[in-house]
Structure 1
Amino acid sequence: MSKSTELFCRFPKSVELIQDFEDITPSPKALAECRAALYSSNGRFFAYTQPDEVVILDTSSQAKLYHKIDMPEVFDINFSPMGTYLCLWCKPVQLNKENGTWNDNLKIFNVNTKSIISEWSVRHQNGWKPQFTSTETLFSRSVNNREIQFFEIDPQGSSLININQPTYKYKIDDSKVTFQNFQISPGKNPSLAVFIPEKSGKPASVLIYNIPNFNQPICSKNFFKAERCQLKWNSLGTALLALSSTDHDTSNKSYYGETNLYLLGIAGSYDSRIDLQREGPIHDITWSPTAREFAVSYGYMPSETTFFDARGNAIHSLPTAARNTILYSPQAKFVLVAGFGNLQGTVDVYDRQNKFSKVVTFEASNTSVCEWSPCGRFILTATTSPRLRVDNGLKVWHASGKLIFLKEFPELYSIGWKPQDLTLFSALRTLEPAPEAHVSTTEYTAKRDAVASAAAKKPAGAYRPPHARGNGTSSAQSTTLYQKELENSMKGVTPPPPPGFARNGGAARQRTIPGAAPVAEKESKAAAKNRKKRESKKGKEQSPGPANGPANGPAATTGPAATVGTSQTQESAATNSAPSDENPSSGGAVIGGVASLEEKKIRSLLKKLRAIEQLKMKQAGGETLEDTQVIKISKEDEIRNELQTLGWNE
């Protein structure tokens, strides 16, 4: 159905769903906003909301108007199991602020008698739906999460039910404890499952009672790490799966918290924790329609899908893959295992009755709704809004993987098959051949085949980085800086040093890489000018000045101190001519923009020489050095020898 634009129904005239179909738009046409719309579980009625009314259609043959309920601002609706009662949740309105009185916004409407049989106030929409037994003899409601009240329904469904006089009730004795949710089982002998979360160091618990005997549970399970719990009965109401979860994972391995699965059985009163072989979250759990087995998708991606019998024993595991959804066909003939949501939408179909043999794999990207048809031969996938506001539409696939129908919508809000009884369809022992595809699938199928064909023809080769593409070079050719440097050294090509390279005595010093031929460098004008300045300055420092001239400093003194000072000046000049670590541009030969290992080592040794010269200056000035500083000075010859070994010349 489209929301706030149009409601329509599609009724196949035959099980094959080939070309024989028609669109049925109810009259009068729904033009206003539709907040909720759904079929009854038996498929007879279809109800949808309008701002001032709720419309019920009889879909036995055509979508004809059955009844209109004049009731404004209905936000949500829900049918009872047999479709006899329609529950309505309206907008809550506070009538009196002083005593906290609210309007009776939850109403139970008898579809057959077209009358309201009960109403009361429920302020919160979360968990508002009353639960009925499968025979519709009882319905229940929660009171402050401390009490569950059950009300017996008149078989004729005509008498008004007094909501203040429950027929039965379940109540927690401890006033400090509240239950979080409960679930009534299907079947002729209904049971009640109640989940009580952990609190104040007490473990969480799931309790199962026979209705209306609430004195002693027939089965129970206590466990920790359970802030929430999803309760899921099998179709017979004989076993319950309890999926507990927490927001925080104590092992800090999962962003999604921690999940655990427990199985509780009515027959024999057994309970157990399902042992899963892999770590990680539980993505999906589902019972088989036969009620004799269930399947679990779990673990970090790629996840694992395992099938268990009714006692919790593993019977089969599928290969690990990126999957998070499991759907049995209505007859339990096929099992659909898919990866939807944030996964790419790959769908696998397995034949459960043929030792889990794979039938087909196909792609249904951007799927937000996936359902088996009531006949178990077709699969509906759809992209709906507001989860995705682009590519809204539906696709119908045959169980063999063939796309047979497609329709796109500007905005699609909800969609689903009309529920029908399995007895209306023939038994599915062998899957019939897929029918001829509708003309609507022609363009989509052609585009999909073209993309697949182009991907198959595209040659697959080794990865090449962007800078090495399109230049005709081999992918095996060297691309790393180290390989380029090695190739250049083998060819005898050494790039010229950058300007300002270390000089000594006014002559530019060309660094060489061991094994590479030296390359003559032509001195630039700027380099010649700087060299002349340094020679002029050096000449002035070495020329004798006036005796005891204060301006000449230690170089003008006589004796040993003068010798040390002169030597220091020369060494300083040599040191100053060395490349500086702080200025990368003054380094040696740079290959491919990065200095070689020899150059880095030379720079480090020259830095040590500069430190030694400074210590010698302090020593010449009469300053007392520490032992470690004296040891550094003693290693000067060793450093100079290592520099010569690396090819450095003063």
Structure 2
Amino acid sequence: MSSSTPLPPCRVLLRSKDGVEVFSVPSERDQESSITTATTRNFLFKGPTTSQALLPDGSAVLVQRPDQGIFKLDLTANTCAETTTTPFFQQSTARVQIMDVSPQGTFLLTWERAQEGETPNLKVWRISDGALVIGFRQKSLSRDSWPYLQWTNDEKLAFLHCTNEVRVYPGSFPQAQETRFLEKMRIPGITSMSVPSQAPGTAGRILFTAFIPKDKNKPSRAALFEYPSSQPSHPTTGYPALLSKSLFQAEEMTVHWSPKGDAALIALQSTVDTSGQSYYGSTSLYLMSPQLDDTVAVPLPQEGPVLDVAWMPNPDKPPTFTVIAGRMPAMASLHNGTDGKATFLFGNRHQNTVQWAPHGRFLFLAGFGNLAGDMTFWDKNKEKQIPPAYPVTAACTVGYGWSPDSRLICVSTTSPRMNVDNGCHLYRYNGDRVSRTPWDNQNYLPDRLLQACFLPALADVVYPDRPQSPSLKDLGKGPDAASATTAASTAGAAAPKPAGRYIPPSARNRAGVGVGGGTSLAERMRAEREGTMKGAQRVVDKKTPAKVVGVTGQVVVGMAPPPTEQGKSKSAQRREKQKQKKQEEEARKKLEEKLAADQKAAAAAAATESMDPEKRARKLKKILKQIDDLKGKDPETLNDDQKKKIASETELLEELQKIGI
């Protein structure tokens, strides 16, 4: 498609209590004046619906009407005409409660409540003709475990989650012969799994993850597997894992796959925070990849719960991901997808949501849910916030998403999450609100809108990756930019410089105090009020040698910096004294701890010598018997104390031999 040819408009689907509607929206700014609000509503499907599933190529949408069944609605037509066709899957889908589409849009997976008998309630349908391909028996439904059947990206294989195992089937489920699983992988205690659907497996192998909750004295475990495996299955532990991470407090696992499907971010959540700092529990984030020797804990710039995680979706660019973590105001950071290290900080704000544009150039950070709805927009390539810089707020937002051309953002307030002020609004990638929409939000007040989203681009439509428009780089392009900028400058000029505050001696040397990094609520609120929170900045790798300019004016990498002619400043000398004093204090504490440990060991040795030899021998034999029992268990299930006990067997045998009983 040539640059002079206008790109086809994007499409927005609105599903309300009245029916399903589709609207075309041009993404170019100069075409906004051509948008006209429809005076009459043109339904693609009329009537109440409970759920929907979009085909990946944007050619159709499946909606479920509870009293009739699932309908297939064609989205390829240029105009939307009301239709009352027969339900796509006939009456047998009226009881469906949840559904999911395969990665290529070939199959539909549905679940309904199990009935008496052996009737399958987990069913696979072929979308092209609505034929039932295969069915399975799945008694209960867990939202964390859905979907129980997951295809690879090319749909050549399908992984079925069963009790204590995962079964691999041919993805097409051929009906010419009885479909049987290709392999059964035993994973004791598995409650959820995840197969990457973004990209096909590399080098003939497919990665998948599994979560095994804690059982008795065994901690919860998240594991990364590959199929087929190069190692044999263990009779006790089952299918071998490439990498695993054990955590006693973990109760749930959320998996975020990289665009190529070769790495996974594992978020382990617990409802109880043992540190007592959060009422909502705690979250740990780990990076798992076959290229890594071990599971990597993602280093977060700010301590606190992990609020949102998102990979940059473009597989042609170096892998990166964004994390929002910490207590409010939370910190958003950009990380390297290969080692997990932070490379850029977006700054502290009231934010809990990150959403990447499909091309991986733009992203927006927002505070939705229980926050006020503030949004900021960023250009990842330039590592800069996109103007206008005046605040953009979308209050009471429930749904959000980018257009397939990466130029528009759709935010919506929908029922039943919010039963007031329902509607859908559009914003540009720089935060400007689109003043005109082809739909009338008055039709969805107060609680009529159920879902709003951009439709995927059709198979024959390709949107290019475009940078920012020159006309949008300048401030003042928004409708209220001039007044907002003036107000901001006036407020900045009138605001007095915050006076210094008293810091108690016990908190003067604590990291973060006075620079927006305090841990208490009062410190964080004070830092935000005084404007000392961290802003956007690059993360400098301290291990990288300094670059020094030589005599010729060129940068000499690795060369030692020249000595300064003048002495050190008073502030530098003061910092050195504080550092030295801190090191002396740490050394003194370590010496005291060592003396206390030596005294404790001497007291234990004296108690051992004074103990009756027969009692001591009985105690040693009891410990040795426990060691024999531990040796019979799987080494992967042992904790550190149990491993230390096994390692002390030689010393115990020598002591027992010295006693001579």
TM-score using structure 1 length: 0.62
Equivalent residue number for residue 188 of structure 1 = 200
Q: Where does 1:121-520 land on structure 2 (aligned, <5 Å)?
A: 121-126=137-142, 127-129=145-147, 130-144=149-163, 146-154=164-172, 159=175, 162=178, 165-172=180-187, 177-186=188-197, 187-189=199-201, 190-213=206-229, 215=233, 216-290=240-314, 292-310=319-337, 311-360=339-388, 361-404=391-434, 405-406=436-437, 407-408=440-441, 409-410=444-445, 411-420=448-457, 424-431=462-469, 433=471
Q: Please state how far the C-alpha of 1:427 moved relative to its aligned partner.
A: 2.3
**Farther off after superposition, 333-342 or 184-193:** 184-193
Q: Please state how far the C-alpha of 1:426 moved relative to its aligned partner.
A: 2.3
Q: Please state how far the C-alpha of 1:432 moved relative to its aligned partner.
A: 5.9
CA 1:317–1:137 in structure 2 vs 1: closer, same or farther (change >3 Å)?
A: same
Q: Does 1:46 align with 2:83?
A: no
Equivalent residue number for residue 36 of structure 1 = 51
**Farther off after superposition, 220-229 or 337-346:** 220-229
Tell me the C-alpha RMSD between the 2 structures: 3.2
Q: Please state how far the C-alpha of 1:342 moved relative to its aligned partner.
A: 1.0
Q: Residue 208 of structure 1: SS of its match in structure 2?
A: strand
CA 1:78–1:248 in structure 2 vs 1: closer, same or farther (change >3 Å)?
A: same
CA 1:74–1:80 in structure 2 vs 1: closer, same or farther (change >3 Å)?
A: same
CA 1:39–1:15 in structure 2 vs 1: closer, same or farther (change >3 Å)?
A: farther
The one-letter code matched in structure 2 to 1:89 is: W
Q: Residue 381 of structure 2: SS of its match in structure 1?
A: helix
Query: 1:492-526 CA distances to partner (integer Å, 9 max, x unpaired)?
Result: xxxxxxxxxxxxxxxxxxxxxxxxxxxxxxxxxxx
8 Å CA contact retained: 1:402, 1:434: no
One of 63, 73, 80 as aligned partner of 2:95: 73
8 Å CA contact retained: 1:398, 1:434: no
CA distance, structure 1, for counterparts of residue 111 and residue 177 of structure 2: 17
One of 124, 128, 137 as aligned partner of 1:112: 128
**Farther off after superposition, 287-296 or 298-307:** 287-296
Aligned length: 437
8 Å CA contact retained: 2:397, 2:413: yes
Q: Residue 236 of structure 1: SS of its match in structure 2?
A: coil
Q: Please state how far the C-alpha of 1:124 moved relative to its aligned partner.
A: 2.7
CA distance, structure 2, for counterparts of residue 270 and residue 226 of structure 1: 19
CA distance, structure 2, for counterparts of residue 241 and residue 381 of structure 1: 26
Q: Residue 283 of structure 1: SS of its match in structure 2?
A: strand
Give the unaligned 5+ runs of structure 2: 1-13, 234-239, 497-661
CA distance, structure 2, for counterparts of residue 381 and residue 289 of structure 1: 20
Q: Please state how far the C-alpha of 1:321 moved relative to its aligned partner.
A: 1.1
The one-letter code matched in structure 2 to 1:305 is: A
CA distance, structure 2, for counterparts of residue 295 and residue 10 of structure 1: 32
CA 1:293–1:461 in structure 2 vs 1: closer, same or farther (change >3 Å)?
A: closer
CA distance, structure 1, for counterparts of residue 465 and residue 154 of structure 2: 26
Query: 1:138-173 CA distances to partner (integer Å, 9 max, x unpaired)?
Result: 2222223x111121034xx7627856x32222112x
Percent sequence identity over matched residues?
22
The one-letter code matched in structure 2 to 1:68 is: F
Q: Please state how far the C-alpha of 1:449 moved relative to its aligned partner.
A: 10
TM-score using structure 2 length: 0.61
The one-letter code matched in structure 2 to 1:85 is: F
Q: Does 1:6 align with 2:19?
A: yes
8 Å CA contact retained: 1:132, 1:184: yes
The one-letter code matched in structure 1 to 2:69 is: E
The one-letter code matched in structure 1 to 2:24 is: F
8 Å CA contact retained: 1:178, 1:196: yes
Q: Please state how far the C-alpha of 1:273 moved relative to its aligned partner.
A: 0.7
Greater C-alpha Rg? 1
CA distance, structure 2, for counterparts of residue 461 and residue 206 of structure 1: 51
8 Å CA contact retained: 2:151, 2:171: no
CA 1:354–1:151 in structure 2 vs 1: closer, same or farther (change >3 Å)?
A: same
Q: Please state how far the C-alpha of 1:14 moved relative to its aligned partner.
A: 6.5
CA distance, structure 2, for counterparts of residue 207 and residue 268 of structure 1: 14
Q: Please state how far the C-alpha of 1:2 moved relative to its aligned partner.
A: 3.4
CA 1:456–1:372 in structure 2 vs 1: closer, same or farther (change >3 Å)?
A: same
Q: Please state how far the C-alpha of 1:355 moved relative to its aligned partner.
A: 2.3
8 Å CA contact retained: 2:109, 2:122: yes
Q: Please state how far the C-alpha of 1:334 moved relative to its aligned partner.
A: 1.1
Q: Residue 272 of structure 2: SS of its match in structure 1?
A: coil
Q: Residue 218 of structure 2: SS of its match in structure 1?
A: coil
CA distance, structure 1, for counterparts of residue 125 and residue 483 of structure 2: 54
